Structure 1
Amino acid sequence: MLALLLAVASSVTYGSADFVGGFASRDGQARRVATVSAPVSLALVTVAALVAGARWSTTTAVYGTACGLAGVASIVLLYRCLALGPMSVLSPLTASISALVPVAAGLLQGERPSPAAITGIALVPLAVVLVSFAPDGNARRPTLAAVLTALGAGIALGAEVILLQHTPRDSGLAPLIITYGISSTVFLAMSLLPGDRPELPQRPGLAAASGAGSAAATIFLLYALRHGQLTMIAVISALYPVTTVLLARLVLHERLRPSRLTGLVLALAAITLLAVG
């Protein structure tokens, strides 16, 4: 039950950070937002490590570095998706793949979920698609390159979860310090590339809040993975679009279409089945 609660906390927190980051990224400012949010995430994780502890080892360094590189790859590929579009198709595809990859890894590792849990796992991709999909009559069909980019982003996100699970249980938050250290370095370096002027986003406070939320969500995820099965944790954490959609309804007063309401119900059913299982 502790792992389930931590996974739900991770999903809700990441969905909130995604909402705030998306709001701050309007007008094509996604990369500027990442330049602010990544260092903030690093700072928060470093401070949290003073309380939770951080133990360093070669294994921690290897998995932390691999996780950081996977995280950077996922963000870069997601940015590419934004450019290729349509995100109404590519976003739910990315989220679904990011859940299915760790589930496959968990099954290969010998995890055997109960029938109820398997049913819950099966409901998650459908719930994510229904919640995330935003039909647009004017949207063009995704190209093969766009689909492959979305698949790559989903695989990278899933790999990040798998790598986090393999970090030493006694390493504390050391892996996350390495992970966010790498992403901060990469995005700060990108902002200094020739032809790019290092500028703050128009909403730096929201960018910083997004970084803080992302760090908190990853901390919850790390400890959930250390107390529960990869198959269960991965699918629950992939339900973050549910929180994003609910916040859009509450804050921006966006209308909830019947398909999204159905997705929300399926998400709750999936969590219930995973809890029972």
Structure 2
Amino acid sequence: MFLGILLALSSALAYGASDFIGGVGSRRYSSWQVVLVGQAAGALAMLVAGLTLPGSPAAADFAWALLAGAGSATGSIFLLRGLASGRMGLVAPVSGVGAAVLPVLVGVALGERPSWLVWVGVLVALPGIWLVSRESTSDRSASARRALVDGAVAGVGFGTLFIALAQISEEAGLLPLAANQLVGAILTILTATSLGQRWRPCRGVIGWGSASGLLGASGTLAFMVATGMTSLAVAGVLASLYPAVTVLLAAGVLRERIDLGQRAGIAICTLAVAALALA
């Protein structure tokens, strides 16, 4: 179980770094371009790795991979919409908590019976994820109800990604992950086109998008392996700590200020990780 915890934390590190790089790139280029290039780069990397290290995927593995791709794309799309509404301080924590809660509930429904210490870690982590994801905002013009809906749907999307990845068999290899990334790219193009957004990549976005996408794909791989070594509930909560990584990178690299609530959230998340590790 300890190795599974380390892999789930590695997943959070990779996802958080991916979001940071993608966020910085989105300040210079369209976020749709960054997301599309990232998903395409991840799909290509997983395809090459899957052909080099072939597994034995079944039809069910690809079906779960397609659902994971749909969840990933849905989460990203609604998170972007919430970000554009100017209520990131509401959207981000709702999505982070949603992504953590859904795998716990599904894991229990599938027969997982976490120990009391695991439940303590889970319950401690949720407010920590909320606090570390929050950003103060003075914008009161956007609708809070729409922001809540965006955050909730994004959380369901990311939670679905985690749940579906956990169902892919250990013998499947990496080809299902290539399918996961490819579905995300296709859905991004379709959604951006329907909304009239610019998605065709320019040359400058390739580096930002590729770095973000490769880190995201690494996080996906680490999470999938982690679920084979620990419970879905534990892996899902730990992977949902990725906002803390993004916040810390923004503070260290961009010198952005970490407010008191975020500091408290990071401390709470650290306690949650310790509880899960002891379990």
- What is the TM-score of this pair, normalised by structure 2? 0.92
Report what 2:160 is aligned to. Answer: 159
Report what 2:91 is aligned to. Answer: 90
Give unpaired runs (5+ residues) of structure 2. Answer: none
Report what 2:46 is aligned to. Answer: 45
Q: What is the deviation of 1:266?
A: 0.8
Q: What is the deviation of 1:188?
A: 4.3
Q: What is the deviation of 1:168?
A: 2.1
- C-alpha spacing 1:223/1:107, structure 2 compared with 1 (3 Å): same
Aligned residue runs from structure 1 range 228-267, under 5 A: 228-267=230-269
One-letter code aligned to 2:254: L
Report what 1:105 is aligned to. Answer: 106
Distance in 1 (alpha carbons) for counterparts of 2:203 and 2:103: 33
- C-alpha spacing 1:195/1:137, structure 2 compared with 1 (3 Å): closer
* Contact 1:249 1:256 survives alignment (8 Å): yes
After TM superposition, which residue ranges in structure 1, 4 or more long, deviate above 4 angstroms?
188-197
Q: What is the deviation of 1:28?
A: 6.7
Q: What is the deviation of 1:130?
A: 1.2
Distance in 2 (alpha carbons) for counterparts of 1:194 and 1:237: 30
**% identity of equivalent residues:** 27
Aligned residue runs from structure 1 range 106-121, under 5 A: 106-121=107-122
Distance in 1 (alpha carbons) for counterparts of 2:21 and 2:235: 23
* Contact 1:40 1:211 survives alignment (8 Å): yes
Report what 2:132 is aligned to. Answer: 131
Bigger mean CA offset, 43-52 vs 10-19: 43-52
Report what 1:218 is aligned to. Answer: 220
Distance in 2 (alpha carbons) for counterparts of 1:64 and 1:9: 21
- C-alpha spacing 1:195/1:150, structure 2 compared with 1 (3 Å): closer
Distance in 2 (alpha carbons) for counterparts of 1:239 and 1:36: 24
- What is the TM-score of this pair, normalised by structure 1? 0.93
Q: Deviations 1:185-229 (Å, cap 9, x if unpaired)?
A: 333456667966634275431121001100111010110012210
* Contact 1:32 1:201 survives alignment (8 Å): no
Distance in 2 (alpha carbons) for counterparts of 1:124 and 1:80: 26
Distance in 1 (alpha carbons) for counterparts of 2:13 and 2:39: 19
Q: Secondary structure at the match of 1:263?
A: helix
- C-alpha spacing 1:196/1:143, structure 2 compared with 1 (3 Å): closer
One-letter code aligned to 1:132: S
Aligned residue runs from structure 1 range 165-184, under 5 A: 165-184=166-185
* Contact 1:12 1:240 survives alignment (8 Å): yes
